[in-house]
Amino acid sequence: MTIFSASSTAPVNIATLKYWGKRDKLLNLPTNSSISVTLSQNDLRTLTTASCSADFDSDKLWLNGKLESLESVRSQACLADLRGLREKVEAKDESLPKLSQYKLHIVSENNFPTAAGLASSAAGFAALVSAIAKLYKLPEDMSELSKIARKGSGSACRSLFGGFVAWEMGDLENGEDSKAVEVAPLSHWPTMKAAILVVSDDKKDTPSTSGMQQTVATSDLFQHRITEVVPKRFEEMKKAILAKDFEKFAELTMKDSNSFHAVCLDSYPPIFYLNDTSKQVIKLIHRLNEQEGKTIAAYTFDAGPNAVIYYDEINEKKVLGLIYNYFSQVAGWEKYSKDVSTLDKIEVQGT
Ligand code: DP6
C-alpha cells in the first residue's frame, strides 16, 4: 500500500480586535475586520498529519486519539477547496499521482486541553489546511490558504500567519477577498509577551458560532460597533503595532474586549462570558496601570472567562508578580486556586 503524508503545525491566535458576527454563515464572511497575535510554535499549537492513499476507503479524522467526524459542512468545505486546488496542479502535470481522488486520514493533536476555551478550532483548522496543502504540494500562498481555513472556522484564517495578523473582512458584494494578511512578524516586536490566566476550563456556555448569530440578530449596539467603532480601531491598532506603541495597543485591546462583551450583554437573551474572577482581573490590571501612571498591561477575553494578558517583557515581574500576589492573598484562596487553576506564561516570541 502506498501512503502519501505530510505534517504541519499551527499555533493558537488571540484576537486583540475581535471577530464577532458573520454576514455569510456558510462562507464565514465576517461583519468586521479583526486583528490577532499568533502565539509561538512552542506554546499552544495543533500538530496535524494528513495522509492519503488509493487504499483508504473513507475520509477520517482522529483528534487527540479519538475518531471524530469530518462530515461537518465546514470540514467538507475545506476538503473540497483543497482537492479542487490539487486537481488544478494534477491537470498541469499528468505524471503526478491523483491524490485529489484519494481519501484522507487526518491525525491531529493539541498540546493544550481542547475544552479550555483557548481557540482550539482556530489552530485546528489552520493546521488541517496547512498539512493538506503540504501533502498536495500546493503553492504556499498563506493568504489564499487562509480563505480555505476561514471556511472551517473564521478565526482559523489568522493562525496561518505568525506574529501580528489582520483578517480583512473583504468586499461586501462577494467576499472573495476576505483573507488574513500579516501586519508584522513576531520578530518585529520580540518583547511583546502574553500570559494566559486559565480561570476555568469548563466548556463554553454559548459556542461562538451561535453566540455571534444571536448578537447579529438582536443587539442594537452591534450596528454601532461594526460601522463606527471597529473600522477606526482596525486602522489605529495596525498603526500602534507598526510603531510598537504599547500604550496605544493596550488601550485599544482592552477597549475592544470590553466592546465585544458589551454587545454580548446587549444580545437578547444576553450572553455572559466573563465571571467574577474575570472581572477581578480587569480591575487589577486597571489598578496596576493607574499606579504605574502608564499602561503596562492589557487584558482581553474571548468567548469565555479566561484572560489573556499582554505586556512588554521589561514589565514581566510587575505584571505577573501582582497577579500571583493578588490571587494568593485573596481570602478563600482555595477557591481562587481552583478557579485560576493554572497561570501559564506564554511567550509570544520566536517560532
Ligand atoms: C471571540 O472563529 O470560533 O474568539 O467562525 O463560527 O468558527 P466560527 O467562530 P470562531 O469565533 C471566534 C470569536 C472570538 C474572537 C476572535 O477570535 O476574533
Full DSSP string of 52-119: EETT--S-EEEETTEEE---SHHHHHHHHHHHHHHHHHHHH-TTS--GGGSEEEEEEEESS-GGG-S-
pLDDT number for residue 104? 97
**Is the per-residue pLDDT at 199 higher than 50?**
yes
Confidence bin at 42 (pLDDT 50/70/90): confident
What is the rounded distance in angstroms from the CA atom of residue 333 to the CA atom of residue 14? 28
pLDDT number for residue 328? 73
Q: Is 102 in the pocket of ligand 1 (CB under 6 A)?
A: no
**Is the per-residue pLDDT at 319 higher than 60?**
yes
Q: Is 271 in the pocket of ligand 1 (CB under 6 A)?
A: no
pLDDT number for residue 342? 47
CA angle 3, 6, 9 (to 5 degrees): 150
Atom of ligand 1 nearest to the CA of 150: 5
Best residue among 19, 169, 226 to mutate for probing ligand 1's pocket (most ligand atoms within 8 Å of CB) is 19
**Is the per-residue pLDDT at 337 higher than 60?**
no
Average pLDDT over residues 218-239: 98
**Is the per-residue pLDDT at 1 higher than 60?**
yes
Question: Closest by alpha carbon to 340, among 307, 309, 311?
Answer: 307
Average pLDDT over residues 7-25: 96
Average pLDDT over residues 113-136: 84
Q: Which residue has the higher pLDDT, 333 or 318?
A: 318
145 and 84 in contact (C-beta within 8 Å)? Answer: no
pLDDT number for residue 173? 84
Nearest CA to ligand 1 atom 11: 208
Nearest CA to ligand 1 atom 7: 153
pLDDT number for residue 340? 46
pLDDT number for residue 43? 76
**Is the per-residue pLDDT at 118 higher than 70?**
no
Average pLDDT over residues 104-117: 79
**Is the per-residue pLDDT at 191 higher than 60?**
yes
Tell me whether 0.90 is exceeded by the ipTM: yes
Q: Ligand 1 centroid to 154 CA: how many Å?
A: 6
Q: Which residue has the higher pLDDT, 330 or 174?
A: 174
Confidence bin at 41 (pLDDT 50/70/90): confident
**Is the per-residue pLDDT at 145 higher than 60?**
yes
Atom of ligand 1 nearest to the CA of 152: 7
Confidence bin at 334 (pLDDT 50/70/90): low
Q: Which residue has the higher pLDDT, 199 or 231?
A: 231
pLDDT number for residue 172? 86
What residues have CB less than 8 Å from 325, skipping those under 6 apart? none
Cell of residue 208, nine digits: 461562538
Q: Is 28 in the pocket of ligand 1 (CB under 6 A)?
A: yes
pTM of the model: 0.93
pLDDT number for residue 222? 98
Average pLDDT over residues 292-314: 94
Q: Which residue has the higher pLDDT, 351 or 307?
A: 307
Mean pLDDT for all residues in the chain: 90
Q: Ligand 1 centroid to 92 CA: how many Å?
A: 37
Q: Is 33 in the pocket of ligand 1 (CB under 6 A)?
A: no
Considering the chain, what percentage of its residues have pLDDT values greater than 70? 90
The enclosing H or E element of 246 equals helix 246-265
Average pLDDT over residues 252-273: 98
Q: Which residue has the higher pLDDT, 203 or 320?
A: 320
Q: Enumerate long-range contacts of 275-283, CB under 8 Å, 24 or more apart.
A: 275/199, 275/200, 275/305, 277/199, 277/200, 277/305, 277/336, 277/339, 277/340, 278/199, 278/305, 278/306, 278/307, 280/326, 280/330, 281/197, 281/199, 281/307, 281/309, 281/323, 282/307
pLDDT number for residue 321? 87
Cell of residue 333, nine digits: 484562596
pLDDT number for residue 331? 52
pLDDT number for residue 117? 57
